[in-house]
Amino acid sequence: MVRPDMTGNCGRPAVPDTGRMHPLATMVERTKIKDIARVAGVSTATVSRALGGSARVTEATRERVHEAARKLNYRRNVRARNLRIQKSMAVLLVVRNMSNPFYLDIFKGAEAIARAAGYVVLMGNTEDDSAREIEYFDMLRDGQADGMILMTGNLPVDHQVLDGETGMAPIVVALEAIENCSLPLVEIDNHAASKAAVQHLLDLGHRRIGHIAGPVPEVLGQLRLDGFRAAMAEAGLSAPPSHEAVGDYSIQSGRRCCRAIFASPEPPTALFVANDEMAFGAIGELRDMGLRVPQDISVIGFDDLFVSDSFSPPLTTIRQPSVEIGQKTMTVLLDILDGRLQSRDICQMPTRLVVRGSTAPCRTG
């Protein structure tokens, strides 16, 4: 084994007594804290303190230690440290479906914050499979991660259990609230945002407005559906059942729901769709039916995906601040981990109506 040669011959190998050392002369062994201690002429404890930025070290020795560390090209062994401090410096980010492009910017924001704080991000994908949900949950229990961000909309364990379990790693819920669950939450006001979307259509003079919802009674889909109905009710309107359809956020389901709604006797003149992907599908379907958007039918989506701007027509939608949601969620989690935050926190991020080309004033009565 070849160890870093420290200035002349002051050093015997750090682990000289390993009888099984073969002169293969290849594998370079990592410098450890012990080596630095020897070079700097201090104890390992002092090295650890100096490197860890403890205040209980003379400026002089701190300097000497850092010097030695630099010279020996030292890097601290994360595994050993993690075992000792009983943390893993990792957070788990669990989504329900990794194919959803909406998560990308959330990842981006969350990862950036975590990395800046010295944490790594583990990614988890449940595919709505509860076995997998439990698997990731167990990773938390096992201490593979110090905390978790949950964007799956449901909890694989009983909330009672969770609340009672002392010493459970912190969990922050994002995007999709979980029923009967008192975990910290970062979300948008889905109900209000949906109302704003519908209000936009109302402002354009539309009265017969349809809605393609996400899965109900899942919280997210339900909230947006409720927002739709509330806005309609406030305008003294109500959509007939045939103008409401339930999809699953996929493009295909958008097509299907659109077809269903427009099979009704008196189809709507505008459509509020619970996410952009289904809106894409709906617009595609309308086109196939020979209807023009927005001349014949107005369509508004939800999310503001990266492509929505260059869709044809450019999609009017509700923008969610995805990067910021990721950042905020991770910030809350780290605040809890570092003891800066104790009480439950519910944070609502602002949304914005983005008016583009897929909505226009109502022309028919």
Partner DNA sequence: TTGAAAGCGTTACCAG
Partner DNA sequence: CTGGTAACGCTTTCAA
List of residues contacting DNA (CB under 7 A): 15, 17-20, 29-30, 32-34, 41-49, 51-52, 55-58, 60-61, 74, 76-77, 80-81, 83-86
**153 CB-near residues (< 8 Å, 6+ apart):** 96, 175, 176, 177, 178, 218, 219, 220
Residues β-bridged to residue 63 = none
- Contact region with its own copies (CB under 8 A), list: 49-57, 154-162, 223-231, 343-351: 154-162
Task: Please list every residue from 78 through 107 that binds its own copies, using CB under 8 A.
Answer: 78-80, 82-83, 86, 88, 90, 93, 98-101, 103-105, 107
Q: How far is the CB of 123 from DNA (least distance, A)?
A: 24
> Pick from 11, 143, 215, 267: which binds its own copies (CB under 8 A)?
143
CA distance 22 to 260: 74
> Pick from 161, 233, 263, 355: which binds its own copies (CB under 8 A)?
161
Main-chain phi, psi angles of 174, to 5 degrees = -130, 155
User: In terms of CB distance, is 31 or 351 closer to DNA?
Assistant: 31
Which of DNA, its own copies, none has residue 115 at its interface (CB below 5 to 8 Å by kind)?
its own copies
By CB under 8 A, is residue 147 in contact with its own copies? no
Give the DSSP per-residue string, 24-88.
Answer: T---BPPP-HHHHHHHHTS-HHHHHHHHTT-SSS-HHHHHHHHHHHHHTT----HHHHHHHHT--
Nearest CA to 31 out of 83, 73, 93 is that of: 73
Q: How far is the CB of 222 from its own copies (least distance, A)?
A: 25
- Contact region with its own copies (CB under 8 A), list: 48-56, 113-121, 207-215, 338-346: 113-121
CA distance 106 to 345: 19
Q: How far is the CB of 217 from its own copies (least distance, A)?
A: 26
By CB under 8 A, is residue 115 in contact with its own copies? yes
The pair of structure tokens assigned to 110 is: 């969350």
By CB under 8 A, is residue 27 in contact with its own copies? yes
Task: Please list every residue from 298 through 357 that binds its own copies, using CB under 8 A.
Answer: 305-307, 309-312, 314
Nearest CA to 87 out of 170, 183, 173 is that of: 170
By CB under 8 A, is residue 364 in contact with its own copies? no
DSSP state of 2: B
By CB under 8 A, is residue 281 in contact with its own copies? yes
DSSP state of 138: H
Q: Name the residue with tokens 């479906």.
A: 97
Give the DSSP per-residue string, 284-333.
Answer: HHHHHTT--TTTT-EEE-SB--TTGGGSSSPPBEEEP-HHHHHHHHHHHH
User: In terms of CB distance, is 129 or 179 closer to its own copies?
Assistant: 129
The pair of structure tokens assigned to 364 is: 């028919």
By CB under 8 A, is residue 6 in contact with its own copies? no
The Cβ of residue 129 has, within 10 Å, a number of other Cβ atoms equal to 12
b/e code 81-95 from CB counts within 10 Å (16+ = b): eeeeeebbbbbbbbb
User: In terms of CB distance, is 45 or 233 closer to DNA?
Assistant: 45
By CB under 8 A, is residue 141 in contact with its own copies? yes
CA distance 189 to 192: 5
User: In terms of CB distance, is 89 or 157 closer to DNA?
Assistant: 89
User: In terms of CB distance, is 160 or 180 closer to its own copies?
Assistant: 160
By CB under 8 A, is residue 196 in contact with its own copies? no
Nearest CA to 28 out of 43, 18, 13 is that of: 13
By CB under 8 A, is residue 146 in contact with its own copies? no
Q: How far is the CB of 142 from its own copies (least distance, A)?
A: 5
Q: How far is the CB of 357 from its own copies (least distance, A)?
A: 10
- Per CB under 8 A, residues contacting its own copies are 18-21, 23, 26-28, 75-80, 82-83, 86, 88, 90, 93, 98-101, 103-105, 107-108, 111-112, 115, 120-125, 135, 138-139, 141-144, 158, 160-161, 163-167, 251, 254-255, 277, 280-281, 283-284, 287, 305-307, 309-312, 314
